[in-house]
Amino acid sequence: MDRKYLFTALVYAIVGLGLGIHMAASQDHGQLVTHAHIMLLGFVVSFFYALCHKLWLHEANCRLATLQFYAHQAGTLVLLICLFLLYARWVPEPVLGPILGIASVTVLLGMLAMAVMVVMRRAPGD
């Protein structure tokens, strides 16, 4: 699972940096919120999850780890796409608001699943 998270973290970093470079070159910072979410939720959180799996959760419950991975990735991807559409003013907020809410809750559920895996992890020597 750590390699999957590392790979997705790097993909999000490349996309986020590309968007940041585009905003700087065009001097249009309208996607600043989207850029920040790509870099933090996509890159940083995915990288953090990769570290957690590599260092502590290598024996984690496979089903819960898989569910957690897909909850985080699906929620993050939908959230980022909706933010992009919202800040590009291509789709109005009343349409995207409920989808953003569901995506945010999905990401939160992924975070809660990670917390459960960490709590369930036995300390060395137990």
SS (H, E, C) 74-123: HHHHHHHHHHHHHHCCCCCHHHHHHHHHHHHHHHHHHHHHHHHHHHHCCC
Cβ atoms of 99 and 78 closer than 8 Å: yes
Residue 126's pLDDT band, with cuts at 50, 70 and 90, is low
Cβ atoms of 43 and 13 closer than 8 Å: yes
Residue 1's pLDDT band, with cuts at 50, 70 and 90, is confident
pLDDT of 99 strictly over 70: yes
The SS3 call for residue 6 is helix
Of 52-61, 86-95, 96-105, which range is least confident? 52-61
What pLDDT shows up at residue 114? Answer: 94
The 10s digit of each residue's pLDDT in 23-61 is 999 999 999 999 999 999 999 999 999 999 888 887 766
| Stated pTM of the model | 0.90
pLDDT of 81 strictly over 70: yes
SS3 content of the chain, % helix, strand, coil (to 5): 80, 0, 20
pLDDT of 111 strictly over 80: yes
